[in-house]
Amino acid sequence: MNAKTLALLGGTPVRNKPFPAYKVIGQEEKDAACRVIDSGILSRFLGTWHPDFYGGPEVQAFEREWARVAGARHGISVNSCTSGLYAALGAAGIGPGDEVIVSPYTMAASATAALIFNGVPVFADIDPETYCLSADTIRERLTPRTKAVIVVHIFGQSADMDPIMALAREHGLTVIEDCAQAPFATYKGRPVGSLGHMGVFSLNYHKHIHTGEGGMVTTNDDALAERVQLIRNHAEAVVEKKGVTNLVNMIGFNFRLGEIEAAIGREQLRKGPRLIAERKNNVACLENALKGLPGLGMPKIGAAGDHVYYVHVLDYDATVTGVPRELMVQALKAELPVTELREGEGPLVGMGYVRPLYLLPMFRKMIGYGKTGCPFTCPHYEGEARYEEGMCPNTEAAHFHRVVTHELMRPGMVRSDLDDVAAAFRKVWDNLPALVGRLV
Ligand SMILES: *Cc1c(COP(=O)(O)O)cnc(C)c1O
């Protein structure tokens, strides 16, 4: 066997040495965490109407700094993006019988958020170029029961928001941007999270910047900000003294972020632009090396917005290469090493992203709360929930046939690492004829 034979067919892989770990936490975060520990105040939230209802000094400073960066009036920290989505839909007043339009091509929490308030998620299809919802696909799913839309800026690129906001104004819908994968991304020069009525960000350890676990809600609307703050922190015990009379969804949670996380978040926020620039540079370097490989499309950067590359999503066309996607990905993975700290996941290359969410058992079997089908078949709900294969053809084509994702452009990957990634792709493409006709 010579070095040119595919590793999948018994040859030598392009690389065995693991890729460097994704590690964006450093001395600044360590100093910030120590500052909080030395202060002895690890949290200062009080779940009553009191100045400490808004949390301690690090939490409040983090929120102000985030809001400034995100171009929004308010930042409200939470302990995850998931809880931020719950708080945002609660603030929007979602209740039994209401429909919330959401993308099926996202992390599951984008869709469970409606269920928490006994609302019903309605899945609209994605745009095949941005993989996000579009005004056209949302319009197809509008009913008199539609109350809100969760637009996910998936993979790191903004949805085309202007037409979506115009549609929302026409129909009185609340628009929540799920910005978990797109912090610092812009749309027509404006930061995501400031375009809809509320934006929700994730600070979990996979994301561009992180605090281990955490999240942030942004909004320009004072009333929505107050309702998110209430839902975050025991609303039911606060409303009376605070003089809040609208009791809709004022059953609070504890979604409070700790002071250590907030202090770390402030440092991460400062590093954000540099970390995003590193991702963009790495992608530019890779795309330059992969340019011209037939059947391999790179993300299209629309006139509307930039891309911050949470993952690098590629469009694979097996009709051009003659090799099924699964076989190509197997061959590619065989050439590549694991990434440190994520060894168990194998090389960080994947077919598709998450299975369209309407295929989850919860939706297929319509079992939410209790055994009787609430909220899907609850008497308050006058629509007909539908969750079946084929309902979002663009999503299914992307997931089951075209999309190849990888994370080998994260900060920490240096030039020689990127060269190895590109070499692996090129080697597979040089050997496509050896794969044509082989069984997966
Ligand atoms: C990561 C992610 C979430 C959830 O974030 P958590 O902070 O882990 O709750 C939600 N939506 C999308 C699109 C995500 O990528």
CA distances from 310 to 153, 183, 314, 348 (A): 10, 9, 13, 13
**Residue 3 reports pLDDT greater than 60:** no
Q: Using the mean position of ligand 1's atoms as its centre, give its distance from the Cα of residue 109 in Å.
A: 7
339 or 440: whose pLDDT is higher?
339
* Range 372-384 average pLDDT: 93
Q: Using the mean position of ligand 1's atoms as its centre, give its distance from the Cα of residue 206 in Å.
A: 9
Ligand 1 pocket check for 180: Cβ under 6 Å: yes
- Note the pLDDT of residue 216: 98
What pLDDT band is residue 437 in, cutting at 50, 70 and 90? confident
**Exposed/middle/buried for 19, CB within 10 Å: 0-12, 13-18, 19+?**
buried
Protein residue closest via CA to atom 14 of ligand 1: 180
Q: Using the mean position of ligand 1's atoms as its centre, give its distance from the Cα of residue 309 in Å.
A: 15
- Could you identify the residue written with the tokens 């040089």? 430
Atom number in ligand 1 closest to CA 213:
7
CA distances from 319 to 54, 103, 153, 390, 410 (A): 56, 27, 29, 21, 30
What are the pLDDT digits (tens) for 75-96? Answer: 999 999 999 999 999 999 999 9
Give the mutation target among 77, 78, 79, 82 for probing the ligand 1 site: most ligand atoms within 8 A of CB.
82
Ligand 1 pocket check for 110: Cβ under 6 Å: yes
- Could you identify the residue written with the tokens 């990957």? 413
**Residue 369 reports pLDDT greater than 60:** yes
CA distances from 164 to 108, 168, 176, 418 (A): 22, 6, 11, 37
Q: Using the mean position of ligand 1's atoms as its centre, give its distance from the Cα of residue 82 in Å.
A: 6
- Note the pLDDT of residue 125: 98
Ligand 1 pocket check for 403: Cβ under 6 Å: no
Query: What distance in Å separates the CA atoms of residue 98 and residue 184, rounded to the nearest whole number?
Result: 31
**Residue 2 reports pLDDT greater than 80:** no
**Is 27-268 CATH 3.40.640.10?**
yes
- Note the pLDDT of residue 374: 94
* Range 408-423 average pLDDT: 97
What are the pLDDT digits (tens) for 177-217? Answer: 999 999 999 999 999 999 999 999 999 999 999 999 999 99
* Range 219-225 average pLDDT: 98
Ligand 1 pocket check for 84: Cβ under 6 Å: no
Residue 380 sits at the vertex; the CA angle it makes with 378 and 382, to the nearest 5 degrees, is: 90
Ligand 1 pocket check for 107: Cβ under 6 Å: yes
Predicted TM-score (pTM) of the model is 0.97
* Range 97-114 average pLDDT: 96
What are the pLDDT digits (tens) for 274-324? Answer: 999 999 999 999 999 999 999 999 999 876 789 999 999 999 999 999 999
Mean pLDDT over each residue of the chain, to the nearest integer: 96
What pLDDT band is residue 268 in, cutting at 50, 70 and 90? very high
Task: Judge whether 74 and 225 are in contact, CB under 8 Å.
Answer: yes
Instruction: Output the six-digit token pair for 244.
Output: 């809040």
What are the pLDDT digits (tens) for 226-263? Answer: 999 999 999 999 999 999 999 999 999 999 999 999 99
- Note the pLDDT of residue 375: 95
Atom number in ligand 1 closest to CA 202:
7
Instruction: Output the six-digit token pair for 390.
Output: 């084929």
Ligand 1 pocket check for 159: Cβ under 6 Å: no
